[in-house]
Structure 1
Amino acid sequence: MRRFVRENGLTVFFSTILLLALAGQSLVGMAEFNDQQLAAGQEPVSYGHYLLSSDFAVDVAENWQSEFLQFTLYILATVYLVQVGSSESKKPEEVGLQSDEDQKVGRYAQADSPRWARSSGWRLGLYSRSLTLVMATIFAVSWLAQSIAGRAAYNGQQLTRYQDPLSWGNYVTSADFWSRTLQNWQSEFLAVAAMAVFAVYLRQRGSPESKPVGSPHTSTGQEG
């Protein structure tokens, strides 16, 4: 167990704080929701009821979809775009998909390369893009979940005001949906842009997200 934790420390650490953050979000979210219920003259809900509610689901889904959109775009952008001096970028001469030899696939694969990296045709093509495909799929599913849960939550508010509910199509073109969506997107894009630029001039000793402390600012694609 100790070896497993050590070798998977990043996953264990971030999975743990993810669960703690979700628990905290659910508790404060329920408190806020029940305050609104009481203000509207309605009964407060239990914790279990809130966890299964569209209000909680939309808050979670809108954050997840923006995170996976960020990673999807970042993975694709770093294939063709560079930031000179950043450890988050590859070197300018390495722009593009690179050769089979550089990527160690097909006949250039090593003995310990993944099995599909040693194959050819659609298997190699699929595996060569598997990270982007999975990230994009999770984004699409999260975005759909946000739209469905968001519509349910929005229509619940509409009914309490004795107003007509919206169809799914009308909701995904509504200001409420895009306000939730864009406020998350802009924060994700800001974080990526800031990391790419800050990594040119700033350092964190021992982190692969930073280049070595003594490397010049123009050094690109190095890890500390």
Structure 2
Amino acid sequence: MRWIKDNALSLAFLVMFLLALAGQAWSGAIHYNEEQLVNGLQPVSVWAYVTSSSFAVDVAENWQSEYLQFLLFIVLTVWLVQKGSPESKQPGEEGPEADREQLVGEHAEKNSPRWARARGARLWMYSNSLGLVMGTIFVLSWLAQSVAGLAAYNSERITDLRDPVTWGWYVTSSEFWNRSLQNWQSELLAVLSMVVLSIYLRQRGSPESKPVGAPHRATSVEG
């Protein structure tokens, strides 16, 4: 029970993610089969749907936009600040900060991660590991979206008795970028809203909010 309590936030989001993914698979299969019947085609099982390119492209395009959001937020908050936001560093503290502040190299503590005591490439890699992993997942999700999207798009073209297109044609088409940008703009708006609204609004007890009584100008202060 102690382990569950210590990891409750991660477990809660994992359960909600799995439930949402299962719901997407179920409702998506129903919608897909409705279109199949309209086009005079045979309906498919839920398993056939979740292993299809149609399901894969819908999942991948959402994943890549989410990880793009986190990648940009992680990297841009190193150099850019927003006065009054708990999501920002203090004005004047822009940049990667000194080794003493980051507890690396000779300033590492006894319980610091081992690579925090390293030098050179290992230290650089660990110092940027969060952004690197988020960026890698974004790129892989983007590639998965492009491949699955190409398969789904060509399937529609073949059904309409049109010639299939190449991967290069697809990733430069309005079809691909319309799917991508409609997700990107919503994620960027969500981050913008969080950064700005957290200056003036509060959520008592949340580390994503300033203390209720903190002044609006207080920056990098969490409740």
Determine if the TM-score, normalized by the shorter chain, exceeds 0.5: yes
Alpha-carbon distance between aligned partners in 2 of 1:178 and 1:10, rounded to the nearest angstrom: 34
Residues paired across the two proteins, number: 223
Alpha-carbon distance between aligned partners in 1 of 2:165 and 2:212, rounded to the nearest angstrom: 55
Alpha-carbon distance between aligned partners in 2 of 1:179 and 1:57, rounded to the nearest angstrom: 17
Aligned to 1:188: 187
Alpha-carbon distance between aligned partners in 2 of 1:64 and 1:10, rounded to the nearest angstrom: 20
Aligned to 1:66: 65
Structure 1 residue 68, shift from structure 2 partner:
0.3
Aligned to 2:199: 200
Q: Which amino acid letter does the alignment assign opposite residue 16 of structure 2?
A: I
Aligned to 2:128: 129
Unaligned runs of 5+ in 1: none
Aligned to 1:108: 107
Alpha-carbon distance between aligned partners in 1 of 2:3 and 2:58, rounded to the nearest angstrom: 33
Aligned to 2:93: 94
Q: Which amino acid letter does the alignment assign opposite residue 100 of structure 2?
A: E
Alpha-carbon distance between aligned partners in 2 of 1:84 and 1:15, rounded to the nearest angstrom: 33
Aligned to 1:12: 11
Q: Which amino acid letter does the alignment assign opposite residue 163 of structure 1?
A: R
Alpha-carbon distance between aligned partners in 1 of 2:3 and 2:140, rounded to the nearest angstrom: 31
SS at match of 2:64: helix
Q: For residues 70-94 of structure 1, what are the alpha-carbon distances to aligned partners after superposition, in whole Å with 9 as ceiling and x for unaligned? A: 0000000000000000001010121
Structure 1 residue 3, shift from structure 2 partner:
1.1
Alpha-carbon distance between aligned partners in 2 of 1:91 and 1:9, rounded to the nearest angstrom: 30
Q: Which amino acid letter does the alignment assign opposite residue 187 of structure 1?
A: S
TM-score normalized by the length of structure 2: 0.99
Aligned to 1:36: 35
Alpha-carbon distance between aligned partners in 2 of 1:125 and 1:174, rounded to the nearest angstrom: 37
TM-score normalized by the length of structure 1: 0.99
Alpha-carbon distance between aligned partners in 2 of 1:65 and 1:88, rounded to the nearest angstrom: 22
Aligned to 2:24: 25
Aligned to 2:149: 150
Alpha-carbon distance between aligned partners in 2 of 1:215 and 1:148, rounded to the nearest angstrom: 49
Aligned to 2:175: 176
SS at match of 2:85: coil
Q: For residues 4-43 of structure 1, what are the alpha-carbon distances to aligned partners after superposition, in whole Å with 9 as ceiling and x for unaligned? A: 1111111100010000000000011001100000000000
Q: Which amino acid letter does the alignment assign opposite residue 110 of structure 1?
A: E
Q: Sequence identity of aligned pairs in percent?
A: 59
Runs of 4+ that moved beyond 3 A? none
Q: For residues 88-145 of structure 1, what are the alpha-carbon distances to aligned partners after superposition, in whole Å with 9 as ceiling and x for unaligned? A: 1010121101000010100000000000001111110110000000000000000000
Alpha-carbon distance between aligned partners in 1 of 2:174 and 2:96, rounded to the nearest angstrom: 39
Alpha-carbon distance between aligned partners in 1 of 2:188 and 2:109, rounded to the nearest angstrom: 36
Q: Which amino acid letter does the alignment assign opposite residue 21 of structure 2?
A: L
Q: Which amino acid letter does the alignment assign opposite residue 104 of structure 2?
A: V
Q: Which amino acid letter does the alignment assign opposite residue 12 of structure 1?
A: L
SS at match of 1:94: coil
Aligned to 2:76: 77
Unaligned runs of 5+ in 2: none
Q: For residues 149-190 of structure 1, what are the alpha-carbon distances to aligned partners after superposition, in whole Å with 9 as ceiling and x for unaligned? A: 000000000000000111000000111111110000000000
